[in-house]
Amino acid sequence: MQYQNTIARPVETEGIGLHTAVRGHLRLVPAPAGTGIVFRRVDLDNFEIEAHGRWLARVSYATSLMKKGVLLSTVEHVLAALYASGIDNVYIELDALEVPILDGSSRPFVQMIAEAGIRRLRRRRRCLRLVRPVEISDGERQIAAYPADNFRVRYFIDFPHPLVGREEIELDVDAESFSRVLAPARTFGFLEDVSRLRSMDLIRGGSLDNAIVLTRDGLMNGELRFPDEFARHKALDLIGDLALVGRPLKAYIVAHKAGHAMHTALVTRLLSDRSLWVETADPSAPERQPLGAPLSAVSTS
């Protein structure tokens, strides 16, 4: 059996928010078994917001949580790192309403976890094992989850840009694969959208240091970290959003031109329909199961 984990010691970082441009300090602090992942707004008397789908708020260009009127924005990159690294219990202390964007990826958060170390706790880990498929679609945008004994994601994107186009990534997600394959992939956007987004009070903190910026036919900032960095970042976002289920998930997730809104729609669906899953002990070495239906089989449900 696997046991719950926390980090071994506190670690911290600071940076500006992608959308607010406000500088924030973020600190990861060990938490006891059964705590879960909990944000603490230290600028608001340590007000706590659990990283759970019940507190989902805005989910357009980032995933936000809100509890009793207190907002917390752009949580997906730190949650992806914690979730994939197997951290079940941690306090995320923050003195601003937005998680720092850092370099636009999850790599700095993975490095923080490595610096802190991982401590095993004396409580068995429980996971949610999907027992029935769930499928959601909105036109060409689709997302589905199928029963499996591991956590696997498949993500397909299609953007009309010469450096992007059609990209697909598929992998079993664990601490090693996430750190190597997905964590370094940065958020991205298009230069032609900058003025419109800033008029909406978005990406005010965006820069070439924390996002890939695509011109009409090229790239503004250096080289890509991976030829398919765009699909990898979308898969990273998906994992961060799925962390809001609140338990390790055993399922095969298939996303086709999805995004935060569809990711979190799946989270809401899973949490609202307990017939879709069972809660069970998390085995230390699960066997691989046959994977679910192909992308073409995803339909409205």
State pLDDT tens for residues 137-182. Answer: 999 999 999 999 999 999 999 999 999 999 999 999 999 999 999 9
Give dist(CA 203, CA 193) in Å, integer: 10
Contact (CB, 8 A) for 282 and 149:
no
Give the predicted TM-score (pTM) of the model.
Answer: 0.91
Which of these, 93, 73, 229, 64, lies nearest to 163 by C-alpha position? 229
Tell me what pLDDT residue 104 has: 97
* Mean pLDDT for the stretch of residues 228-239: 98
Q: What integer pLDDT is reported at residue 196 of this predicted model? A: 84
Q: pLDDT of 37-51, one tens digit each? A: 999 999 999 999 999
Please give the domain boundaries of the chain with CATH numbers for all domains. Answer: 3-125 (3.30.230.20), 127-297 (3.30.1700.10)
Residue 193, phi then psi, degrees to nearest 5: -95, -10
| Catalytic machinery residues | 260
CB atoms within 10 A of CB 27: 17
CA atoms within 13 A on the CB side of 238: 34
Residues 301 and 170: their CA atoms lie apart, in Å, by 23
